[in-house]
């Protein structure tokens, strides 16, 4: 299959690229689309046969459910049941935006989409191209990140092409993703508390304006192999480049530099701006949390282009969006953390 990359000229419903994407999606094909977080591999979320194609091209375990992407609140009521008030409050505040909510599902959602659970994950992306496509389709788009399962999520068309060339007919070019890490995934308990299953750009502090917030254990800890996780995606090794990743956690710039320099020829580091080990090759991934989030997956892919064997990553702060960056990094490192 030939994979073409097309860039919409305007983001309206009359744009020929958007129309082509809609035509393919209505025919049950996969189209890669931009969102504000990462690129998604979209299909008709109501179509079991279309959804099955996603699992095949990604090499994704079939028990790892997909997020349904909607363009307006009406669509939420078609797919979710018994929506708690707190979910509506959060939708009102954070949609369109990088927040995914796990809600009781309606029968219209096929088991192929949600891994046979009785819940469904829903979000409204903050991207005009994605919103126009969903609106014209008239159905929600099931869309995981557009990477091969296990590799870093794609934040540019180049990344999508490198993972999906020959496997899908169309990649819609929406330039580089703003956030760079996937959406915050939350669930609600009986007391209307919000539980964060995957941290993202909608942070704990932002959510706690509206409800009591709990951070699920799996956000910072390796899941036990026999545990049934709240979010199946947390079970798998994720976001990993081919290079072996080791996280180095320390507040001390000098200690970090001494540690990586000891590695001699093997040394390659991923660091913040301005804190550069003098005797070691390195890439930087940004100073602030939002810069780090935007750059992280791009830099992990660059390590493979360079051919790095082992990379020592200076651990980011866990505050704000930093928690999302840290959460992705410890998975890329398969929880290998060196504390100095």
Task: Please report, as ranges, the residues that interact with Mg ion according to CB under 5 A.
Answer: 145
Tell me the CA distances in angstroms from 189 to 88, 117, 169, 211, 221, one per residue in order: 15, 16, 41, 11, 21
Q: Is 38 in the site for ligand TXA (CB under 6 A)?
A: yes
- Closest-CB residue for ligand TXA? 233
117 binds ligand TXA, rule: CB under 6 A: yes
Residue nearest to Mg ion (CB): 145
Binding positions for ligand TXA, 232-251, rule CB under 6 A: 232-233
Which residues sit opposite 31 in a β-bridge?
42, 170
Q: How far apart are CA 202 and CA 210, in angstroms?
A: 12
110 part of the interface to ligand TXA, by CB under 6 A: no
Residue 324 CA to residue 100 CA, distance in Å, equals 14
Residue selected from 120, 240, 300, 321 as contacting ligand TXA according to rule CB under 6 A: 120
Asked if 40 interacts with ligand TXA (CB under 6 A), we say yes
In the complex, least distance from residue 134 CB atom to ligand TXA, rounded to whole angstroms: 12
Region 57-96 residues binding ligand TXA, contact defined as CB under 6 A:
64-67
Under the binding rule (CB under 6 A), the answer on residue 183 touching ligand TXA is yes
CA dist., res. 69 & res. 48, Å (int):
16
DSSP assignment string, 144-184: -BSS-TTSPPP-SHHHHHHHHTTT-SEEE---S-SS-SPPE
Cβ of residue 118: shortest distance to ligand TXA, in angstroms? 8
Give the one residue of 100, 151, 156, 292 binding ligand TXA; rule: CB under 6 A.
100
For Mg ion, the closer CB: 145 or 183:
145
Token readout for 208 is 């706690």
Angle at Cα 270 formed by Cα 158 and Cα 296, nearest 5°? 40
Q: Count CA atoms within 13 Å of residue 97 on its CB side.
A: 14
Q: Which is nearer to Mg ion, 145 or 156 (CB)?
A: 145
């Amino acid at each position: 299959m030939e994979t073409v990359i097309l860039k919409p000229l305007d983001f309206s419903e009359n744009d020929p690229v958007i129309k082509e994407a809609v035509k393919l999606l209505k025919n049950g094909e996969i189209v890669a689309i931009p969102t504000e977080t990462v690129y998604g591999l979209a299909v008709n979320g109501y179509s079991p046969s279309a959804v099955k194609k996603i699992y095949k091209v990604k090499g994704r375990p079939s028990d790892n459910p997909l997020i349904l992407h909607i363009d307006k609140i009406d669509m939420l009521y078609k797919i979710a049941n018994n929506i708690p008030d707190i979910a509506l409050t959060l939708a009102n505040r954070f949609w369109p935006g990088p927040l995914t909510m796990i809600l009781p599902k309606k029968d219209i959602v096929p088991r192929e989409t949600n891994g046979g659970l009785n819940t469904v994950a829903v979000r409204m992306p903050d991207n005009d191209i994605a919103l126009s496509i969903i609106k014209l389709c008239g159905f929600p788009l099931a869309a995981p990140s557009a990477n091969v399962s296990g590799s870093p999520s794609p934040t540019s068309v180049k990344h999508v092409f490198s993972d999906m060339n020959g496997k899908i007919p169309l990649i819609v070019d929406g330039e580089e993703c703003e956030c760079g890490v996937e959406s915050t995934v939350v669930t609600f308990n009986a007391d209307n508390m919000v539980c964060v299953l995957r941290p993202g750009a909608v942070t704990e502090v932002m959510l706690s304006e509206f409800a009591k917030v709990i951070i699920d254990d799996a956000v910072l800890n390796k899941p036990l192999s026999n545990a049934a996780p709240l979010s199946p995606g947390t079970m798998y090794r994720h976001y990993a480049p081919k290079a072996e990743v080791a996280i180095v956690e320390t507040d001390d710039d000098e200690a970090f530099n001494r540690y990586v320099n000891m590695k001699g020829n093997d040394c390659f580091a991923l660091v913040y701006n301005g804190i550069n080990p003098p005797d070691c090759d390195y890439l930087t991934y940004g100073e602030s949390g939002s810069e780090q989030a935007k750059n992280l997956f791009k830099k992990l892919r660059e390590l493979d282009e360079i051919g790095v064997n082992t990379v020592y990553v200076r651990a980011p702060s866990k505050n704000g969006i930093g928690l999302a960056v840290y959460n992705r990094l410890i998975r890329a490192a398969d929880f290998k953390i060196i504390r100095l």
